[in-house]
Amino acid sequence: MIELRTPAEIDRMHDAGRFVASVLEATAAASVVGANLLDIDKLAHDMIRKAGAESCYIDYHPSFGGSKFGKVICTSVNDAALHGLPFDYRLRDGDVLSLDFAASLGGWVTDSAITITVGTPREEDLRLIDVTSRALDAGIAAATVGNRIGDISAAIGEVAHAAGFSVNTDFGGHGVGRTMHGDPHIPNDGRPGRGLPLRAGLVFAIEPWFMLGTDRIYTDPDGWTLRSADGSRAAHFEHTVAVTENGPLVLTARK
Ligand code: MG
């Protein structure tokens, strides 16, 4: 079901989005060489408690998950592309880390992700991160009244293809509101002019994720973490965006 939000509701979601952005800022800053993924999760959990927010992940148990997630943030390192389950791992020099965080504040969910390098970055990783980030920007720019979902998908896919990356469309953007996942689904590739027409009040997460080599993934034995089939590294960027009469409004923008 497609739900439209009033301007007042989008204001509330913006408050929730600022909180999610602050958690990503803090956890990204803490993600230095030697930092343990479990401590990064604990930092996010402490911020949730302090803000009176609720985790969208800790009790999450969808059909594709092995069990309840049990943590509050996804930490995907190197060949992990999505849904990285935090474990007892200390970040190493040259790692690529994606942080994906969703929480509910005041009853409204927002969802956002960022990819960073730890310590001394590799050139190819910086390029992957740049391309994925630019794909998110292109997708957001296409989230305007009068466009269609396919225009967002096409804008994302175009950036990937221009950079020589293939796109896995198994996981993509999604509606957000009272819950983390709703309609519409927004694939990271597609044809322009197709799909749902965008109207003011639509709120969704746009989330390109690309891998340096393959477009195929497999599930880690932990039951959650999705890794590239060839071990190549991955990047993932996500924002929750409201379609408004004045253009796209990024609810999870970081300072
Ligand atoms: Mg997310």
Q: How far apart are CA 91 and CA 120, in angstroms?
A: 12
Radius of gyration of the chain (CA): 17
Centre of ligand 1 from the C-alpha of residue 194, in Å: 24
CATH number at residue 239: 3.90.230.10
Compute the residue count for the chain. 255
Question: Is residue 75 assigned to a domain?
Answer: yes
Centre of ligand 1 from the C-alpha of residue 106, in Å: 18
Centre of ligand 1 from the C-alpha of residue 102, in Å: 6
Centre of ligand 1 from the C-alpha of residue 83, in Å: 9
Measured in whole angstroms, how far is the alpha carbon of residue 78 from the centre of its chain? Answer: 16
Question: pLDDT tens for residues 72-84?
Answer: 999 999 999 999 9
Centre of ligand 1 from the C-alpha of residue 153, in Å: 17
Question: Is residue 28 assigned to a domain?
Answer: yes
Residue-number span of the structural domain to which 38 is assigned: 7-250
Question: Is residue 171 assigned to a domain?
Answer: yes
pTM across the whole model: 0.97
Question: Is residue 2 assigned to a domain?
Answer: no
Q: Are 96 and 31 in contact, with CB atoms under 8 Å apart?
A: no
Centre of ligand 1 from the C-alpha of residue 26, in Å: 16
Question: pLDDT tens for residues 103-119?
Answer: 999 999 999 999 999 99
What's the chain's average pLDDT? 96
Question: Is residue 17 assigned to a domain?
Answer: yes
Q: How many folded domains does the chain comprise?
A: 1
Centre of ligand 1 from the C-alpha of residue 237, in Å: 8
Q: How far apart are CA 217 and CA 118, in angstroms?
A: 23
Question: pLDDT tens for residues 13-60?
Answer: 999 999 999 999 999 999 999 999 999 999 999 999 999 999 999 988
Question: Is residue 255 assigned to a domain?
Answer: no
Question: Is residue 54 assigned to a domain?
Answer: yes
Q: Confidence band (pLDDT; 50, 70, 90) for 65?
A: low
